[in-house]
Amino acid sequence: MIREIKRFKEFIFESVTAYEYELDERFPWTEKMEEMIDEILFLSSGLKDDYRYGKRDTPGFEFNIKMRNWPDGSDFGVSDETINDLWWTYLSDNLEMAGNDIIETSEELFDDWFQTGRSGGWLLLQHDSRVINEPEDLIRDIVDDVNTYTVDISDEDIELWKKMNSTKGNRILQRLGQSQEFEDIEEAELYAKDALKDLEYEIDYLKKLKSKLEAVDSRIDNFWRDAQKYFSEYAREELSED
């Protein structure tokens, strides 16, 4: 019973996807298109939610870089004011180096970086792509040519075409003199192959974007984990030069 409920829920979900994008469920490539469309929407929505996309006037993904620790001047035998100045310089220099490095190594996923939010507590990586901003419209553009060719094809032609594509069925139809060409279906099939390639490209793009965003998140965590240690080395070197 549970298995039947699961199948029914999957059927409903897939039907909604097909209806939303006017996909013709009579064709064998439609199921794969539905799966890929669902994956694109899932990845795109997840990245926008997880990384606060579009929360500012500048479109981009945000990372919390608010301070997680603070040095004590007594550890260095100097005033808190002196250590605070060094600490802010240390943070500013590291943020600038990290931001520039992320942009340079992002494979053009990000256009620029900014420090934003109250007290500059957020790192924003500027990003502008259709698969993030308007994934539904992008998907419709990808599948539109396929839909144009499939909409007027009759059920009878599709059933005969399916038989023609089976070796046994093709031999029988040829023997009966019923073998024929299906130009509209074959044209639709070519556009379907192109659409599947385009959908796959968007999935790969989103996965690459996700991987990069996760790497930035880890980079920030690692920085704060080791910040006190490396700041101590930095501060003692700076103070020894005075």
> Is residue 160 included in any domain, yes or no?
no
> Over the stretch 6-59, which tens digit does the pLDDT of each residue have?
444 444 445 578 778 989 999 999 999 999 999 999 999 999 999 999 998 889
- Listing DSSP states for 57-92 in one string gives SS-EEEEE--------GGGTTS-HHHHHHHHHHHHH
Consecutive H or E run containing 197: helix 183-241
> Is residue 176 included in any domain, yes or no?
no
Range of the domain at 96: 2-155+192-241
> Is residue 113 included in any domain, yes or no?
yes
Is the model's pLDDT at 114 over the cut of 90?
yes
For tokens 């700076």, name the residue. Answer: 238
Whole-angstrom distance, CA of residue 150 vs CA of residue 195: 14
> Over the stretch 53-108, which tens digit does the pLDDT of each residue have?
999 888 999 999 999 888 887 788 888 899 999 999 999 999 999 999 999 999 99
> Is residue 183 included in any domain, yes or no?
no
Instruction: Name the domain count of the chain.
Output: 1
> Is residue 169 included in any domain, yes or no?
no
Is the model's pLDDT at 226 over the cut of 90?
yes
Which positions ≥6 away from 54 have C-beta within 8 Å? 48, 60
> Is residue 161 included in any domain, yes or no?
no
Q: Among the residues of 21-166, which ranges form H helices?
A: 30-50, 80-104, 130-133, 135-150, 155-164
Is the model's pLDDT at 171 over the cut of 60?
no
> Is residue 182 included in any domain, yes or no?
no
What token pair was written down for 75?
């550890």
* Predicted pLDDT of residue 63: 97
> Over the stretch 208-219, which tens digit does the pLDDT of each residue have?
999 999 999 999
Is the model's pLDDT at 134 over the cut of 70?
yes
> Is residue 22 included in any domain, yes or no?
yes
